Amino acid sequence: MKLLLSFIVLSIHVVLINGQKQLNDSVIPFKKAALLSACIPGGGQVYNSIHTSGRKNAFWKVPLIAAGIGGTTYLLIQNQRLVQSIKTEYNQRQIGGAVNPNWVDYDDLALVSLYDQYARLRDLSILGIGAVYAIQILDAAVEAHFLSFDVSKDLSLLIRPSFINSSALGMTAKITLK
């Protein structure tokens, strides 16, 4: 858990601190998109969509983010309920209490095994929530960078064979950026 928290803090730090300076007002600030996405999942994607002209809209990503966070949260809740139920059943068996009908087919060793399995799945669900959250922050920041990316037809790369001296064959690369 500490490793996940450290990773999330480091990722947010890298996204928010390391960046390029704004050259003019037409450049979308990636820091603001990342910060909005960190505060409200999907907020950076909406911010990028509002500040974009043309076909680069990211509204469609918001339901995917909500589904990812909602699905992993649902799995977390279900696995935690099963862990608590198995733990309660095991403790009841140890003191000689009533047996839950859901777990009557399992002996004590099987309950311990099930407890370990669902505890592991619960922990993976927590990692899943953190991964979806971190990925949507990084997506908002990267998309904000690419909103001002030049994709004009004046960008080209020309590679031709050439002769070096009279006995060696080589390659010449010419990059045109206009």
* pLDDT tens-digit series, residues 67-92: 999 999 999 999 999 999 999 999 99
Q: What is d(CA 134, CA 78) in angstroms, rounded to the nearest whole number?
A: 23
Whether pLDDT at 55 is above 70: no
Is the whole-model pTM more than 0.85? no
Per cent of the chain over pLDDT 90 is 43
Whether pLDDT at 4 is above 80: no
pLDDT, residue 57, reads 76
Tell me the C-alpha to C-alpha distance, in Å, between residue 9 and each of 73, 78, 106, 123, 177. 20, 27, 42, 19, 37
Q: What is the mean pLDDT of the chain?
A: 82
- Structure confidence at residue 59 as a pLDDT band (50, 70, 90): confident
Distance of CA 81 to the CA centre of its chain: 26
**Which candidate, 23, 65, 71, places its Cα nearest to that of 45?**
65
pLDDT, residue 170, reads 83
> pLDDT tens digits, residue range 107-136?
999 999 999 999 999 999 999 999 999 999
- Structure confidence at residue 54 as a pLDDT band (50, 70, 90): low
**Which candidate, 149, 159, 153, 160, places its Cα nearest to that of 177?**
153
